[in-house]
Amino acid sequence: MKKSASLALAAALVLTGATAASARGHMSNKTTGASDTLTLTDEQQQSIWNDVSRHATNQTAPADFNVAVGTEVPSVINTYPLPRRAARDVPAVRPYRYAMTQDKVLIVNPSDHKIADVVASSK
């Protein structure tokens, strides 16, 4: 009887540890993955432009706002989740958000609101 109780307790502890580890892994996947720099190929940028620009509204930015990688997006500019098609076509952008201003699509790190990449029309 003692042996089966010990085995049951050991099994419960193992399962609890596995569940906690699984939860930690799941949370870290949600909160990580985006960084302050993202290097997209010309083809990926064109795909994102095509997918995002048809949904995006060109927002007015403050006069002193400089669109550049590493710059924090001002709070007056709204960011949005990338359209499903863009995330499907370019999986690297899944953890990011976007905004459009000055006729450019800004790929934004959601954790610190810094621009990770800038996509412009290739016209």
Do β-strands 97-101 and 115-120 pair in parallel, antiparallel, or remain unpaired? unpaired
Judge if 107 and 47 occupy the same domain: yes
The answer, yes or no, to whether residue 79 has pLDDT greater than 80, is yes
Judge if 39 and 23 occupy the same domain: no
Judge if 25 and 48 occupy the same domain: no
Judge if 11 and 24 occupy the same domain: yes
* Residue 73 bridge partners (DSSP): none
* 3-class SS string, 8-34: HHHHHHHHHHHHHHHHHHHHHHHHCCC
Given this model, what pLDDT does residue 4 score?
Answer: 58
**For residue 118, which phi and psi values (nearest 5 degrees)?**
-125, 130
Judge if 45 and 66 occupy the same domain: yes
* Residue 118 bridge partners (DSSP): 106
**Confidence band, pLDDT 50/70/90 cuts, at residue 37:** confident
Judge if 28 and 39 occupy the same domain: no
* Tally of structural domains, the chain: 2
Judge if 60 and 81 occupy the same domain: yes
Given this model, what pLDDT does residue 112 score?
Answer: 94
Q: Which domain holds residue 62?
A: 35-120
111 SS3 class = coil
CATH code where residue 77 lies: 3.10.450
Judge if 87 and 49 occupy the same domain: yes
Contact 61, 74 (CB under 8 A): yes
d(CA 87, CA 94): 5
Whole-model pTM: value is: 0.71
Judge if 55 and 16 occupy the same domain: no
